[in-house]
Amino acid sequence: MIDLKRAKILVVDDNPRVRSFLKSALEGAGFSYVEAEDGWTALLLVEEECPDLVVLDILLGDERMGGLDVCKKIREKGIRTPIIFLTIKDRAEEPYFMRRAFQLGGDDYISKREELRRIEQRMGISPSELLERKSDIDELLARIKIRLQQVDSRQEFDGYLRIDLLSRLVEVKREGQWQEVRLTSTEQSVLEALLRKLGHPVGKVELMSTAGVDGEGSLQNHIMRLRRKLEPDPGSPQYILTYHGIGYRFGNT
C-alpha cells in the first residue's frame, strides 16, 4: 500500500495561480508536490518522477495535448497511476468530458464549482481564488486520500504470479496449483518498492534505502534470489527487469 506520508502528487494545470494554491494545500496536507504547466511536461514527469497520483486539468491551453490526451498516453504506456481530473468542465452541463475522461482511464472527476466558471468568464477573477474555499480543497484532498488507499494491494500477473501487499502473501502457480513463496523481510521490501512504482524504473539508491540494503552487490544478490523464487525462467526474467545504469522495474511488458 502507498504510504500517504510519502505520496507524491503531480499537478498538471496551465494556470500558475491554481498550481501555486494547490502546492500550498497539498504540501500542507503532507504530500510531496510536483507540477507541470502543460501536457508535454506532464508526460515527461510521469516517467521521471513516478508520482503516486496525478491531478489533471482538461483544458491545458494546447489543442494538441490537452488533459484527455495526457491521460490517454499515460494509459497507453501501461502506467496505472491514479488520475483525478480537476476541471471547470461541469459534469451536468458538459457530460461528454466526464464520459471521455473515464473511457480513457481516469479514476475520478471533480468539477470546480459552477461559480468558478461564472467568476472566471464574467468577472475575470482567477480560478485559484475560488479553489481556496475550504469545501473545494477539502473535497480534493479527500478524493486523493481515497484513491491512494484504493490502489490494489492484490495483483495477479499472467495467471502465474499473485502478490498481496497488504497480507504480504506471494504465490506462484505450479502444476495448476497456487503455491506460497516464502520471502525474507529484505526480499519483501525490495519487491514492495518495485510494485509501488509498477511499470517505472526504481533507482538502486532508492531500493537500497527502502530495503535497508548495504551496497549494490548486496542488492543484486537479493534481486537474483527474488528472480529464482518468482520468475518462470530466472535466466530470462519477465517480471523483475534490469534498467541498466538506473536500477530495476517490475513489469510484465
CATH code for the domain in which residue 65 is found: 3.40.50.2300
Same domain assignment for residues 21 and 128? yes
**Does residue 177 form part of some domain?**
yes
Instruction: Count CB atoms within 10 A of the CB of residue 21.
Output: 21
Is 90 exceeded by the pLDDT of residue 117? no
Nearest Cα to Cα of residue 250 among 169, 157, 167: 157
DSSP state letters, 100-136: HHHHTT--EEEEPPHHHHHIIIII---HHHHHTSHHH
Same domain assignment for residues 182 and 135? no
**DSSP state, 51?**
-
Single-letter amino acid code for the residue at 236: S
Highest mean pLDDT among 61-75, 80-94, 103-117, 148-162: 61-75
Instruction: Count CB atoms within 10 A of the CB of residue 159.
Output: 7
Say which CATH number the domain at 158 has: 1.10.10.10
**Max Cα-Cα span within the chain:** 69
Residue holding cell 518522477? 49
- Degrees (nearest 5) of the Cα angle 151, 156, 159? 165
Structure-model confidence comparison of residues 107 and 137, the more confident one: 107
The last residue of one of the domains, among 149, 164, 180, is 149
Is 80 exceeded by the pLDDT of residue 6? no
Domain holding 195, by residue range, is 154-250
Which pLDDT score, from 0 to 100, does residue 63 have? 84
Is 90 exceeded by the pLDDT of residue 7? no
Q: What is the pTM of this model?
A: 0.58
CA atoms of 96 and 189, how far apart (whole Å): 43
Cell matching residue 101: 475522461
Q: Decide: residue 70, CB within 10 A, 0-12 exposed, 13-18 middle, 19+ buried.
A: buried
**Does residue 122 form part of some domain?**
yes
Instruction: Count CB atoms within 10 A of the CB of residue 20.
Output: 14
CB 154 within 8 A of CB 163: yes
Which pLDDT score, from 0 to 100, does residue 166 have? 66
**Does residue 119 form part of some domain?**
yes
The last residue of one of the domains, among 149, 175, 198, is 149
**Does residue 82 form part of some domain?**
yes
Same domain assignment for residues 31 and 125? yes
**Does residue 3 form part of some domain?**
no
Nearest Cα to Cα of residue 131 among 2, 13, 40: 13
CB 151 within 8 A of CB 119: no
CA atoms of 42 and 61, how far apart (whole Å): 13
Same domain assignment for residues 179 and 82? no
Same domain assignment for residues 19 and 143? yes
**Does residue 235 form part of some domain?**
yes
CA atoms of 33 and 48, how far apart (whole Å): 14
**Does residue 48 form part of some domain?**
yes
Domain count, the chain: 2
Same domain assignment for residues 67 and 116? yes
**Does residue 25 form part of some domain?**
yes
CB 45 within 8 A of CB 75: no
Structure-model confidence comparison of residues 228 and 118, the more confident one: 228
**DSSP state, 175?**
T
240-250 tens-digit pLDDT: 999 988 899 99
